[in-house]
Amino acid sequence: MKNKIDIMFLGDIVGKPGREAVRRYIASINSNRPDFIIANVENASHGFGLTQKNYNELLSYGIDCFTSGNHIWDKREIFQYIKEADRLIRPINYPKGTLGVGYRIIEKDDVKIGVINVLGRTFMGLVESPWNVLEEAIKEIKKETPIVVIDIHAEASAEKICIGKYFAQYGVTAVLGTHTHVQTADEKIYEDCCAYITDVGFCGDKNGVIGMDYEISVKRLISAMPDRLDVAASGESQINGVIISVDTISGKAGAIKRINEEIIIKEENSIMKG
């Protein structure tokens, strides 16, 4: 077993421009690929939810674990395949009995990595409090491995910061924010063990509005009418995420580094909107 590993976490993948950018990015770093890759996929299928086809597609790129968020249920087929999707996690604080699981322990190259997905409650939907469910999940995971990565999918920065600082005291490896699609510049290590960032950003079209078409987005804001959003597809995408260096014995993160790369995609825009 390695004494140190690198974990890469990729921000919310938005539509086909995001999926294609992630495919190309992972292929480009193949000779220096991180030991474990996690990606948030709640917007991976045309900006809302995740189809089984896209789940299998992203799995083939070499991603080891998928987190999600409040859009995980947007594609109805999720109810049919989520039980078999053994690398996919839905937020842990949905009510008891909800399909899917809120955390997984995945073993790769003799190293076990625990990954938890949780929703914030500020400006979000009605879900159970994240505090108690996280505490219980962390205790269960730590029976098998010291490595615990939390995706806190939340709107409010203050809530994410509180989750990060609080659960760093539990010795978790990382608390990484998703949902806003805007990468923050506040990466740090809490309590000499926990890598933290308020939002890792997103993977998708860089010229839209957090991955969605600008013209439709601005029209919605000006008119206050609920026009259907569509994925932006300018041919220029971005990759946002973080790389975390982790001690496999202690589970402590030693460093966190932001990823902010541009990927040029030459396909016709109409092809890239899915």
CATH number at 64 reads 3.60.21.10
pLDDT, position 59: 98
pLDDT tens string 237-261: 999 999 999 999 999 999 999 999 9
Q: Is residue 170 part of a domain?
A: yes
pLDDT, position 272: 54
Q: Is residue 33 part of a domain?
A: yes
Which residue from 171, 140, 178, 172 is spatially nearest to 156, judged by alpha carbons? Answer: 178
Q: Is residue 67 part of a domain?
A: yes
pLDDT, position 255: 98
Mean pLDDT over the full length of the chain: 95
Residue 273: which pLDDT band, with cuts at 50, 70 and 90? low
Q: Is the dihedral of CA 180, 183, 189, 195 positive or negative?
A: positive
pLDDT, position 126: 86
Q: How far apart are CA 270 and CA 212, in angstroms?
A: 14
Residue 271 pLDDT > 90: no
Strand arrangement of the beta sheet that strand 103-108 belongs to = 103-108, 111-119, 148-153, 174-178, 194-197, 188-190
Residue 274: which pLDDT band, with cuts at 50, 70 and 90? low
**Across residues 166-184, what is the average pLDDT?**
98
Q: Is residue 63 part of a domain?
A: yes
pLDDT tens string 37-49: 999 999 999 999 9
The DSSP code sequence of 56-95 is HHHHHTT--EEE--TTTTSSTTHHHHTTT-TTB---TTSP
The percent of residues in the chain predicted with pLDDT above 70, rounded, is: 97
Which residue from 257, 252, 254, 265 is spatially nearest to 240, judged by alpha carbons? Answer: 257
Q: Is residue 2 part of a domain?
A: no
Q: Based on the structure, what is the number of domains in the chain?
A: 1
- Please give the DSSP secondary-structure letter assigned to residue 40: E
Q: Is residue 272 part of a domain?
A: no
The residue type found at 6 is D
Domain that holds residue 218: 7-266
Residue 154 pLDDT > 90: yes
Residue 1: which pLDDT band, with cuts at 50, 70 and 90? confident
Q: How far apart are CA 206 and CA 20, in angstroms?
A: 13
Which residue from 14, 23, 79 is spatially nearest to 45, judged by alpha carbons? Answer: 14
pLDDT, position 103: 98
**Across residues 93-98, what is the average pLDDT?**
95
Contact 231, 17 (CB under 8 A): yes
**Residues classed as catalytic:** 71
- Please give the DSSP secondary-structure letter assigned to residue 229: P
Q: How far apart are CA 122 and CA 254, in angstroms?
A: 30
Quick count: other Cβ atoms within 10 Å of Cβ 89? 26
Q: How far apart are CA 184 and CA 3, in angstroms?
A: 30
**Across residues 103-132, what is the average pLDDT?**
96
Structure tokens at 171: 């010795």
Q: Is residue 274 part of a domain?
A: no
Residue 270 pLDDT > 60: no
Q: How far apart are CA 218 and CA 237, in angstroms?
A: 20
pTM: 0.95
Cα dihedral 120/142/257/161 (nearest 10) = 30
In which element (H, E) is residue 19 found?
helix 15-28
Q: Is residue 271 part of a domain?
A: no
